[in-house]
Amino acid sequence: MLYFQYSSLTKAKISFDEESRRDFDFLRESFKTENVASKFMKFTRYSVNPFTYAISPLGSYNIGITDELCKKCDDLRIDYKIEDELLKLIKPSLNIKTLLDVPNQEFQYRWYQRQLLESLLENGRGVIISPTRSGKSLILAGLCHNIFQSYVQNKLQNILLLVPNINLVFQMYEDMCEYGLGEFYNIQMFTAKTMNKKGAKINVEKFNIYIANSQYLLLHGDELPFIDVIIVDEVHQMTKGSEISKIVKGVKISHKFGCTGTLPKNIVDKWNIAGTFGPVLDEIEIQTLQDEGILANVKVFPIKFNHSKKENFKYIDPELLEGLTKEEKEIKKFEISQRAYQKESMYLGVCEEANKKAVSVCKKLILEHKNWNALILFDFTEQGQQLYRLLDFENKHYVDGSVDVLDRKDVIEQMNAPEGGHITIAQSKTFSTGLTIKNIEVVCIMTNQSSPTKIIQSIGRGLRKVEKNTLIVIDFFHNYAYSEKHFFERAELYKKCYGLSLGSDYTIKMVQL
């Protein structure tokens, strides 16, 4: 029999006798995946395990995946027992009998928001998945309000609400106040730019909600007071090895919650998120909310740029390999292959002929529909600046990581204006996460990537249903290896998330360069 035992507030351990060694090995092998880094390490003479395991050889693991491990034991018909102390930690009760609405009665939970909130409160930790623009901030406000209102049973007074960037600190603060929490609780904002040099102070007369971005926590996390509860918005960014993930994982409290629109596709990152916060408690699919008319429908229009003359970024000059040993040649070939994607992306990103045609397509749509707004998403600064220069349009805006947060807010306000007629060229990593932009009718994807979280978050900027019923997604790509590969990966994503199939729901338009 395997024994799941408490080690600490962040770690648990599986113990076993010699008779159960085989069962433990079966379980451990069920939670392994290929270590991608080992492919590179073999060329640099480092010895590295070709697999990554969720469970250490001695049985230690991150406490949040206990549920998943036990389910696998059931599947494998392995006998196990969970220690009582561990049971209390993997599902720490919040003792909440009746779900309360937020103080501002103008805001009522939709059925799915109530369902997700009840899951969080019932389990005391864990992750919920709900589409971008489905109103996750109302769920988080309800979570804070209900936790504080059950103070007598829980003695929980300080909540840290962690968001990815500085824009969301201000936006989340405004949302919390709009929902009426500001009248009852002490809400403080902390960013690297607005930090109080004396640190955060506890207001003993009120319960405290500290809203901070990841950058602040990395630089000044030791200045925050004792935290009873951590809530992480856009929890998909808590990937394995990231510094912010290590900090959150190391906080020794049992109540940790996460929410996101989609989880990362890397299984190691999923293990890391589940290990820190707990299992996925509930998920609401995009199509469900589209069918109910809560989110806008999506139409995809792929445009492929066919280059008559193509660069070969994987070409290896034979002279580079002269005089090298067989092992050195393999290392050189590997290095060139690794750089090919970056070279292709940089080259295609500033292909002026393609970018000129792309912005003209976007401009034409907005001129035909005067009250529409468009968002053009790019990868790197040089690409964005070229797109901005090529776009001959009066109401155009530009946003990358260097643009001040107040200027970004001004752009968002203009995009949210009812009259429309604006085109914003924005860096995907800056404008893909969590921002509330109500009026976007067109999203143009100019990025050479396939990351599900980034693409879904990017499209999510326009899923809010105001007056429009449909969001138009124009997906630009090129007849180059990685560009085509990533487009077809996005096509699979369109099918999975929106029920749109290439060939039946949309076709590719060819543009010759």
Whole-angstrom Cα distance, residue 510 to residue 387?
Answer: 20
* 280, 303: one domain: no
Contact indicator for 379, 344 with CB cutoff of 8 Å: no
Give per-residue pLDDT as tens, 18-64.
Answer: 899 999 999 999 999 987 655 555 555 555 667 889 999 999 999 99
* 491, 396: one domain: yes
Instruction: Confirm whether 102 is domain-assigned.
Output: no
* 124, 255: one domain: yes
Tell me which of 41 and 150 has the higher pLDDT. Answer: 150
pLDDT of the residue at 392? 93
Q: How confident is the model at residue 371 (pLDDT cuts 50, 70, 90)?
A: confident
* 85, 14: one domain: yes
* 409, 363: one domain: yes
Q: End of a domain among 284, 315, 340?
A: 284
Mean model confidence pLDDT for the chain: 85
* E strands present in 96-181: 126-129, 158-163
* 312, 198: one domain: no
Q: Two tokens at 348?
A: 């295609």
Q: How confident is the model at residue 324 (pLDDT cuts 50, 70, 90)?
A: confident
* Residue range of the domain that includes 277: 111-284
Which of 12-16, 62-66, 431-435 shows the lowest per-residue confidence on average (mean pLDDT)? 431-435
- Report pTM: 0.82
Q: How far is CA 231 from CA 87, 158, 161, 178, in A?
A: 21, 11, 5, 19
* 489, 458: one domain: yes
* 338, 403: one domain: yes
CATH of the domain at 444: 3.40.50.300
Q: Which of 153-167, 189-203, 376-390 has the highest mean pLDDT?
A: 376-390
Instruction: Confirm whether 493 is domain-assigned.
Output: yes
* E strands present in 278-323: 280-283, 297-306
Mean pLDDT across the stretch 96-101?
90
Q: How confident is the model at residue 434 (pLDDT cuts 50, 70, 90)?
A: very low
Instruction: Confirm whether 98 is domain-assigned.
Output: no
Helix (H) or strand (E) holding 470: strand 470-478
* 166, 312: one domain: no
Q: How confident is the model at residue 204 (pLDDT cuts 50, 70, 90)?
A: low
pLDDT of the residue at 237? 86
Instruction: Confirm whether 245 is domain-assigned.
Output: yes
Beta-bridge mates of residue 396:
423
Instruction: Confirm whether 496 is domain-assigned.
Output: yes
Q: End of a domain among 240, 259, 284?
A: 284
Contact indicator for 203, 179 with CB cutoff of 8 Å: no
Q: End of a domain among 238, 262, 284?
A: 284
C-alpha 427 chain-centroid distance: 16
* 161, 269: one domain: yes
The interaxial angle of helices 136-149 and 111-123, nearest 10 deg, is: 40
Instruction: Confirm whether 230 is domain-assigned.
Output: yes
Tell me which of 185 and 225 has the higher pLDDT. Answer: 185
Sign of CA dihedral 228, 234, 236, 237: negative
Beta-bridge mates of residue 162:
212, 232
Number of domains in the chain: 3
Mean pLDDT across the stretch 288-306?
89
Q: Tell me 396's DSSP state.
A: E
Does 197 score more than 50 pLDDT? no
What percent of the chain shows pLDDT beyond 70? 88
Q: How confident is the model at residue 469 (pLDDT cuts 50, 70, 90)?
A: confident
CATH of the domain at 68: 3.30.780.20
* 261, 351: one domain: no
pLDDT of the residue at 168? 84
Contact indicator for 168, 216 with CB cutoff of 8 Å: no
Q: Tell me 221's DSSP state.
A: G
Q: How confident is the model at residue 135 (pLDDT cuts 50, 70, 90)?
A: confident
Question: Which residue carries 């109103």 as its tokens?
Answer: 135
Give per-residue pLDDT as tens, 160-191.
Answer: 999 988 878 888 999 999 999 999 999 988 87
**Which phi and psi (to 5°) does residue 51 adopt?**
-125, 150
Whole-angstrom Cα distance, residue 457 to residue 47?
Answer: 38
Q: How confident is the model at residue 198 (pLDDT cuts 50, 70, 90)?
A: very low
Instruction: Confirm whether 376 is domain-assigned.
Output: yes
Instruction: Confirm whether 101 is domain-assigned.
Output: no
* 70, 215: one domain: no
